[in-house]
Amino acid sequence: EQSLKIGVSANFTEPLKQLVDTYNEKFEPDIDVKLSVAATGVLYQQVRHGAPFDMVFAADIKRPQLIEEEGLALENSRFTYATGQLALWSTTRDQVALDDLTPYQGRIAIAAPHLAPYGKASKEALLSLDLWRKFHDKVITGNNISQTYQQTRTGAVDFGIISYSQFLLSDTGSGVLIDSQLHEPIEQQMLILKSTLNEDLARKFQQFILSDSSQELIISMGYADTRKTGHEQQ
Amino acid sequence: MSSSDEWLALYTTIKLAGLTTLILLLLGTPLAWYMSKIQSRYKVFLEAIVALPLVLPPTVLGFYLLVIFSPTSTPGKWWLDTTGYSLAFSFTGILIGSVIYSLPFVVQPLQKAFEQLGDHVLEAGAMLSANSMDRFFTLVLPMTKASFITAASLGFAHTVGEFGVVLMIGGNIPGETRVLSIALFDHVEALNYSTAHWLAACLLIGSMVLLALIYLLNFNHERNIKYRMEP
Amino acid sequence: MSSSDEWLALYTTIKLAGLTTLILLLLGTPLAWYMSKIQSRYKVFLEAIVALPLVLPPTVLGFYLLVIFSPTSTPGKWWLDTTGYSLAFSFTGILIGSVIYSLPFVVQPLQKAFEQLGDHVLEAGAMLSANSMDRFFTLVLPMTKASFITAASLGFAHTVGEFGVVLMIGGNIPGETRVLSIALFDHVEALNYSTAHWLAACLLIGSMVLLALIYLLNFNHERNIKYRMEP
Amino acid sequence: MSTLAVSEAPQAIQRDLSVDVNLSFDSFQLSCDIRFDLNGITGILGHSGSGKTSLLRVIAGLNRDAAGTVILKQRTLQSDTQFIKPEHRKIGFVFQDARLFPHLSVAGNLEYARKRCKPNSLDANEIIQMTQIGALLKRDVVKLSAGEKQRVAIARALLAEPELLLMDEPLSNLDNRARRDMVHLLRLIHQRLNLPILYVSHNIIEIQQLADEVLVMENGRIIQVGHVHQVLNNLNERMSTEFSSPTSLTLKVKQHLVNFGLTQLDFMAPSHNQVKLFAPLMNQPLGQQLRCYILADDLSISLNKPEASSIINCLPGRISQLHRLSRNGMLIKVQVMEHTFAINTSRYAVELLRLSHGTEVFIQFQADAIRCY
Amino acid sequence: MSTLAVSEAPQAIQRDLSVDVNLSFDSFQLSCDIRFDLNGITGILGHSGSGKTSLLRVIAGLNRDAAGTVILKQRTLQSDTQFIKPEHRKIGFVFQDARLFPHLSVAGNLEYARKRCKPNSLDANEIIQMTQIGALLKRDVVKLSAGEKQRVAIARALLAEPELLLMDEPLSNLDNRARRDMVHLLRLIHQRLNLPILYVSHNIIEIQQLADEVLVMENGRIIQVGHVHQVLNNLNERMSTEFSSPTSLTLKVKQHLVNFGLTQLDFMAPSHNQVKLFAPLMNQPLGQQLRCYILADDLSISLNKPEASSIINCLPGRISQLHRLSRNGMLIKVQVMEHTFAINTSRYAVELLRLSHGTEVFIQFQADAIRCY
Ligand SMILES: Nc1ncnc2c1ncn2[C@@H]1O[C@H](COP(=O)(O)OP(=O)(O)OP(=O)(O)O)[C@@H](O)[C@H]1O
Ligand SMILES: Nc1ncnc2c1ncn2[C@@H]1O[C@H](COP(=O)(O)OP(=O)(O)OP(=O)(O)O)[C@@H](O)[C@H]1O
Ligand code: MOO
Ligand SMILES: [Mg+2]
Ligand SMILES: [Mg+2]
């Protein structure tokens, strides 16, 4: 049995697990994938300091780029594997529409714009909707999109901007997709670390992720169709 | 992030840690006293409960607290109706969170100190007509001063360093719930290492000076008086 | 995430918390003893330094520890050369991190207990030819048993609940550095709320039972003997 | 026991202090039912472990487990339905161990008592001077010697000016001189404040010098109660071989022989004035009445009036009782006018001198055998 | 002080215990330079706060601040260059407060001492029985009465079988009976183990009964040293009004008068055997030599041989010294053959009987005035 250690950013954990299962259905021999879940920022720090991962699935472009610049990644291993989408979500309302935000006077939860790509996109979307001026001092920021999800889920805040993928996975609340034209695309990239001892397997797995069938699975889980937006590769 | 942001965060931190410590001393002292006196087996459970906040990871604890604080829950709704503002994402909210999270660090040292004190000296106080309040303030308090300082400094430091709970239930609102530890974490995440190092150094040195001052006070006191425990 | 993963995490957690507590007792006891005895002003700084790990947010502390543990730093390289494996992302690494992070919770209660003990009874021991080791094990230890239990349970609980440091320097590697608090956090992050609730409840109840057992032991002991402090 | 107490309660109220309590420890049972007047210093004698400290603690209210009734000066301190807290009992306690407040200086300890005592009728400086702790005022109490601690504890208890003072072997760490000074101080305080004292001591001399009433405890019970002479003269055999019994007299100051360091005393009845009694010179006005004690060990008997002896006091009397104390010890009571003197002697002397009931004898004693308050 | 000690060191080594130390507290200075033999029980007298406890602590090594030299049986315990830790000094200490181990039972406390003592030549059961703590063995020490604690502390110290035992007012919480039993026990132990004891007490009777050598302390200094009779007979005026002085004799058991509860004693020199001396009956073999004391207060003088008196002992002698003790007190030394008796009397008696140097007198005392070990 072959194994891969993958550092994955929290938001992609569930899709990646499903992808591994699909892989193991399709190919022989089975691979054993060990997932280390952490926020992208944490993953980056860990990689810099010698984390024993074979691959990293980040939630942005910036950190993978930095890893590559620091010479820790294999050549030609950095690919965009998914493009995130946003959802406006509430657990206190039965129906949610973007227009609800216009009369809304309360707080809104987003991921921290300067830390998380989803946060940056959320801010851009609010700017496009001309709502940022109203909300800029009322936003509740979580360190990452998961925290935003949790803060919204408890009902402590009426609206939160989370990832569309989270919205699809969640079992409560109601939400609405935010048009991805309202913000810069949220590209999520993966790469293979130079220190890997399983380069062949990692490459094979990477090819599998980028395959059409996998991409369709990813899209079905709430990510944008990257082939349409033309951001498949940087 | 501007430096005025940091000053604001510093202010919030000191306010939060200071108030938390104060509240913990006010709540924790009678609780510790009570726990040091009870003789039933029920004490064991009380002790375990006080220690529990430690066992949950801060963000998880924060999540459950947020559930309780949310206006959709009964306590959260009651608070909103009573005060007009939501407990979640307010300074009061992170204050309550910090108090719960740091409770064991204040209660346990005090409880042990009260237990070790015994009642010989207190009996002597009673025979000089000092009632229980009087005895507490004029005998117990000065004799356990060192443990109060330990308790307060553990509680204070722990609140300064805590950010999991605060971030979750506070939402990182500048001037309200954004504390220094969150700011520091932000800088690390945002790869502003020089700022992060600088802030971490300031935090460490500031805390060190503060702690040293506290202990110095205590030290001068202890040099003169050395209590002894006897059978 | 399968349930066998959870068992593995539970095992790692107990191993980590148990070893951390053990090491803390082994290291913290002489340190606390030393600190309770020194009379110079230097004591103040030592006390402040011991309390410092509290002041930094766990992830930030974890970050700095990671920097130190990394094979690119001198200590990390030395470790790698000596032992053949990297300190970062190893069980040893998170063990060291936990020990540093929980140090004050063990040292401070012990130090206070030693200080309150005084030396009357120890002098009596010396006059019966008990040397300092002997006195420590046969007099100090049994007489401060309650404080040892407080110290150990604070240290244990704090390690169980800690995940910022462990996540940062451990990398969440199943069977090696993935502990229950991280697993719990993962479930919350991965939106598996029912699993998360269940795990949190288990953690709480398990810890409660454990703590209650410890305190019960201590309680039975204390019921019989009530030490008293006297001038 | 407690039903008995209830039925007797109305009678109990007549006396100043009534204690009817039961208290059980694992291997010890305190069981007291006693009422007595508190118009002086009441001594409590008893062997180690006989329950003296436990009794004081119950009276002070420091032992809540004690079942029963305690009534002090018509005030019910404790009954089946009531329990007045120790701090409201207005009772002072000098503990066997000093129990000073370690965080306060000597002066701080005294002030602590002073502040919580309303009328402040005693002069603190006087007490400080008499307990000889003036030089210690600024000192830390943890650095005092054992005797110094004990004196500070006594001063502190006195400055609280309680309505009843319980003293548990308060002078055990003091030397004779300090002990004498303290006894003097206690007597003075007692007179000045009319402060009743319950005084536990192993030292029969202290009890003799201080106490009016005496209780004797054994195994958690009070086995004897009464006026000091009565009790000490009637200590049962075992007790009297351990303590020695005194004769008690009230005498009047007649004359001071300053040059010789003697004071001549008279019996109270004018008819006996032909008998001369000499005690060590004392600072008392002429005519002053004194309560004096003579220990049975300090007296001797002869058949003839001894002459040219350095023994200064010699009284004629008649043997009224011969009491075999132990195998070889005899206690002889000699009637000198209406006074009874107790004399310890040996069976050998009794046989040698053929002493028997009615024998006319002379009793002799040195000046300093007469011990006064 | 310490330079002096160094120059005298070779001489110091000749004696068993040599202590030359200086120790300063804020308001107290201990300053001792003394050497003496440790072949018995050495009493230490002194007022409260005179430094008795401090001296014992220095000898035990419990006060590291003390500068100077301590040499015990040729072993340097402490000098400018050396400091043997208290646990290696093989010295036992009975503290003024008992200092029992609160987490152990009474038996546990005794065992603690027993385990750390190698040869175990004493029978633990005997010690337990003699200190009367057999019934307490399973008890928690924190629940003991003060006297019970003290007895346990003594038993514990004895069971450690040290080479030197320091006792700091070990009997202060005991009643006369228990005190007597303890004195008996200590003497026995001392004989059996040849265990030298330094014994601090306020109680002159205890010192008389126990001590061979006596030190008197005042203000941190040793103001008198010597054999117990010598010291007690020469206590300076202030001391002797507080303590009373004894005469010491060595006597031999001649005969037991069991029926009368008396034992007849002889002087050691055969020539004096015409003089009869009676003491209370004692359990000693015939011919046994005894060290006896008679307190100066227990003796009286007459010019004629008194007859028909209950005073049983009467010795002819000649006054060798008249010593004015205080304003009115006289100490008279009477030479009876080669023995000197000290008698306390008043100036009045001296003038009345016209006593002066060389006067032939009889000294009288009761049987129980003869106090033996
Ligand atoms: N808290 C307690 N628990 C169990 N037994 C106790 C407790 N307190 C006292 N005793 C026992 O009760 C008995 C009486 O104790 P108490 O202290 O009253 O004696 P005492 O007469 O004051 O003796 P001493 O003269 O030695 O001080 C003792 O045998 C003692 O061991
Ligand atoms: N650690 C200390 N610091 C300052 N002064 C002290 C210290 N220990 C003792 N003293 C002082 O030294 C003096 C001698 O004390 P010590 O205990 O030796 O007296 P003592 O002769 O044993 O008296 P007692 O008979 O009352 O026990 C006292 O005045 C005491 O207050
Ligand atoms: O990397 Mo995340 O998805 O912001 O936790
Ligand atoms: Mg007592
Ligand atoms: Mg002393």
Q: Give the binding-site residues of ligand 1, using a 6 Å CB cut-off.
A: D 25-26, 28, 46, 48-54, 96; E 143-148, 173
Contact B107, B50 (CB under 8 A): yes
When pLDDT is cut at 50, 70 and 90, the band that residue A73 belongs to is very high
pLDDT at D344: 81
D175 versus E343: the higher-pLDDT residue is E343
Kindly report the three-state secondary structure assignment for every residue of chain B: CCHHHHHHHHHHHHHHHHHHHHHHHHHHHHHHHHHHHCCCCHHHHHHHHHHHHHCCCHHHHHHHHHHHHCCCCHHHHHHHHHHCCCCCCCHHHHHHHHHHHHHHHHHHHHHHHHHHHCCHHHHHHHCCCCCHHHHHHHHHHHHCHHHHHHHHHHHHHHHHHCCHHHHHHHCCCCCCCCCHHHHHHHHHHCCCHHHHHHHHHHHHHHHHHHHHHHHHHHHHHHHHCCCEEEC
Q: Pick from C153, C199, C155, C208: which is nearest to C179 by CA?
A: C199
Residue numbers of chain C with a pLDDT score lower than 70: 1-3, 218-231
Could you tell me which chains touch chain B, where touching means 3 or more CB pairs under 8 A? A, C, D, E
**From the CB of residue D74, how many other CB atoms can be counted at a distance below 10 Å?**
11
Number of CB atoms found within 10 A of residue A106's CB: 11
DSSP D294-310: EEGGG-EEESSPP-SBS
C-alpha of residue E152 to centroid of ligand 1, in Å = 14
Cβ burial B208-218 (10 Å sphere, 16+ → b, else e): bebbbebbbeb
Q: What is the pLDDT of residue E337?
A: 80
Token digits of residue A49: 């300091």
3 state DSSP class of A23: helix
Question: How far is the CA of E176 from the CAs of C132, D242, D345, E180, in angstroms?
Answer: 38, 6, 20, 6
Pick from D144, D145, D150, D173 the residue to mutate for probing ligand 2's pocket: most ligand atoms within 8 Å of its CB: D145
Q: Mean pLDDT across the stretch D61-69?
A: 90
Tell which residue, E77, E21, E42, E12, has the closest CA to residue E226: E42
C-alpha span between E299 and E73 (Å, rounded): 40
Choose which CATH entry (3.40.630.10, 3.90.180.10, 2.40.240.10, 2.40.50.100) describes domain D247-372: 2.40.50.100
> Whole-angstrom distance between the N-terminal and C-terminal Cα of chain E?
38
Separation of alpha carbons E246 and E45, rounded Å: 15
Mean pLDDT, all residues of chain A:
88
Token digits for C195? 């699993």
Q: What is the mean pLDDT of residues D316-337?
A: 79
Is the distance from CB of C57 to CB of C164 less than 8 angstroms? yes
- For A12, the 3-state DSSP assignment is helix
| Spans of all domains in chain C | 4-179
Q: Among the listed ranges A70-74, D229-233, E160-164, which one has the minimum average pLDDT value?
A: D229-233
Q: Which residue has the higher pLDDT, D228 or D359?
A: D359
Residue E301 and residue E314 in contact, taking contact as beta carbons nearer than 8 Å: no
- The reply to whether ligand 2 has any atom less than 6 angstroms from the CB of D145 is yes
Tell me what pLDDT residue E240 has.
44
Q: State the DSSP H helix or E strand holding residue D91, giving kind and residue range, or none if neither.
A: strand D91-94
- Per run of 10 residues, the mean pLDDT along chain B (length 231 residues) is 75 92 94 87 80 81 88 89 88 93 89 84 92 92 86 86 84 83 81 84 83 70 42 31
Pocket test for ligand 3, best of A8, A13, A40 (most atoms within 8 A of CB): A40
Q: Which of A26-30, D36-40, D51-55, E321-325 has the lowest mean pLDDT?
A: E321-325
Question: Whole-angstrom Cα distance, residue E260 to residue E257?
Answer: 6
Q: What is the mean pLDDT of chain D?
A: 81
**CB spacing of D27 vs E139 below 8 angstroms:** yes
User: Is-contact A1 A31, C-beta < 8 A?
Assistant: yes
All chains having 3 or more CB pairs closer than 8 angstroms to chain A: B, C
Residue to substitute from D77, D87, D91, D152, interface B, most B β-carbons within 10 A:
D87
* Contact (CB, 8 A) for B108 and B28: no
- Across the range D240-252, mean pLDDT stands at 60
d(Cα E354, Cα E6) in Å, to the nearest integer?
Answer: 54
D-chain residue closest to E261, CA distance: D328
β E213-218/E41-46 pair status = parallel
CA-wise closest residue to D278 among D348, D369, D152: D369
Q: What is the pLDDT of residue D2?
A: 38
Nearest ligand for residue E46 CA: 2
* Predicted pLDDT of residue D85: 93
pLDDT at B190: 78
**What CA–CA distance (Å, rounded) separates B207 from C148?**
27
Atom index in ligand 3 nearest the CA of residue A41 equals 1
Give residue E3's pLDDT: 38
Q: What is the per-residue pLDDT for B227? A: 40
| Greater model confidence, B156 or A228 | B156
**Rounded to an integer, what distance in angstroms lies between the CA atom of residue E144 and that of residue C209?**
36
Cα(D316)–Cα(C58) distance, integer angstroms: 98
**Mean of the pLDDT values across residues E59-67?**
90
- In chain D, which residues fall in CATH 2.40.50.100? 247-372
Ligand 3 centroid to Cα of residue B196, in Å, is 21
CA nearest C225 in B: which residue?
Answer: B231
Chain C contact for A195 (CB, 8 A cutoff): no
- B39: exposed, middle or buried (C-beta count within 10 Å: 0-12, 13-18, 19+)? exposed
| Cα B126 to Cα E123: distance, rounded to the nearest angstrom | 45
Q: Which pLDDT band holds residue A176 (cuts at 50, 70, 90)?
A: very high
Give pLDDT, residue E229: 61
Q: Which amino acid, one-letter code, is at D20?
A: D
Q: Does D55 have pLDDT greater than 90?
A: yes
Does D297 have pLDDT greater than 80?
no
Interface membership of C79 toward A (CB under 8 Å):
no
Q: D309 alpha carbon to ligand 4 midpoint, in Å?
A: 45
| Model pLDDT for residues E273-315, shown as the tens digit of each residue | 667 888 888 878 888 877 677 877 778 888 887 777 777 888 8
Find out whether C119 and C40 touch, Cβ atoms under 8 Å: no
Class of domain C4-179: mainly alpha
* Tokens, residue C226: 């009530």
Summarize the confidence of residues E13-34 as an average pLDDT: 85
Give the residue among C145, C147, C139, C148 at the shortest CA–CA distance from C118.
Answer: C139
List CB contacts of A136: < 8 A, sequence separation 6 or more.
Answer: none
| pTM score over 0.90 | no
Ranges in chain D annotated CATH 3.40.50.300 = 4-234
The H or E element containing residue D4 is helix D2-12
Cα–Cα distance for residue pair E350/E324, rounded to 1 Å = 11
- pLDDT for D334 equals 87
Distance, in Å, from the CA atom of D358 to the CA atom of D250, rounded to the nearest integer, reads 25
Judged by DSSP in three states, A212 sits in: helix
Residue of A nearest to C178 (CA): A36
Helix (H, G, I), strand (E, B) or coil at A34: strand
Lowest mean pLDDT among A187-201, B86-100, C210-224, E171-185: C210-224
pLDDT, residue E256, reads 86
**Range D4-234: architecture per CATH:** 3-Layer(aba) Sandwich (3.40)
Contact of B6 with chain A, judged by CB distance below 8 Å, is answered with no
ipTM of the complex: 0.79
- The Cα A201–Cα A207 span in angstroms is 10
Residue nearest to atom 4 of ligand 3 (CA): A144
Residue recorded with tokens 């033309």: A230
